[in-house]
Chains A and B, each alone.
Chain A
Amino acid sequence: MGAPVRDMTLAIWAALAAALVGSAVAGRLGLAGLAPLGRVLRGARSTVLGRSALVICWAWLGWHAFAR
């Protein structure tokens, strides 16, 4: 049972990664009226709420990846 569950989990992770990359590329190319990811991040950085969210995500990601 473990293997099918793992395969399904990995497939969902792959789909999420593809969605993230696809959105970044679409934004870069200006497709579907999307703004580039860099502009989104700079826009988030220009507000207190956005910057706070970025810092929290960055801190969590670093701790999770390198320390746990």
Chain B
Amino acid sequence: MVLGLVAGLRSIGTGEDRSRRAMLNAVGLLAAAADAAVASTSRPFTWPANVTTGLGLVVVVLAGLARLRLPQPTRTLATAVEAPSVGPDRGSHAGRRTVVLWVTMTLAVTAFELVNYVSSPRDAHPTLSSLLNVLTGHEVLRGLLFTAWLAAGWWMWGRP
């Protein structure tokens, strides 16, 4: 099924077959819903959780790679963040500042997560996942969060 989905997505890249596109979209949505439904009932540190998460991860990445039509990277991240109406010289500082801010915060969260991960006991040093247990411990919320995670993964492979 995964290979068929990826092969179908490759053919969609040519923009020739609308019915096939609709069918693949439906298959993708159904597969995501089924995966999320199973994931909603699974508990962390179990094989069902590993399989449902791993399956979603692999399918999204493979299908995303097939969907991908990356342009030549002629822009830097800082200039890509700028609004088109903003001049390249005026806006580059704001774009750079924004990128630096988010990269810094991402690194801070990652560093603190790692510090807690290697510390014990877990109760005194909660990691992100242990904090998320409040949400992921409930089946419906877990299913919704899993669906949102799949959707976010799919969004990342969209065209710029």
Which residues does A use to contact B, with CB under 8 Å? Answer: 1-3, 5-6, 9-10, 12-13, 16, 19-20, 23, 27, 32-35, 37, 39-40, 42-51, 54-55, 57-59, 61-68
Complex contacts, B112 vs chain A, CB 8 Å: 12-13, 16
**How many B residues touch A, CB cutoff 8 Å?**
58
Complex contacts, B78 vs chain A, CB 8 Å: 43
Complex Cα distance A55/B128, Å? 18
Which residues does B use to contact A, with CB under 8 Å? Answer: 39, 42, 44-45, 49-50, 52-54, 56-57, 61, 64, 70-71, 73, 75-78, 80-83, 93-95, 97-99, 101-102, 105-106, 108-109, 112, 116, 121, 123-129, 131-132, 136, 142, 145-146, 149, 152-153, 156, 158, 160
A43–B80 CB distance below 8 A: yes
A67–B54 CB distance below 8 A: yes
B73–A48 CB distance below 8 A: yes
Complex Cα distance A16/B121, Å? 21
B77–A5 CB distance below 8 A: no
State the Cβ distance, A43 to closest chain B Cβ, in Å. Answer: 4
Q: A16-B108, A68-B45 are in contact. Are A62 and B126 (CB under 8 A)?
A: no
B81–A9 CB distance below 8 A: no
State the Cβ distance, A41 to closest chain B Cβ, in Å. Answer: 8
Complex Cα distance A51/B69, Å? 12
B106–A64 CB distance below 8 A: no
State the Cβ distance, B1 to closest chain A Cβ, in Å. Answer: 20
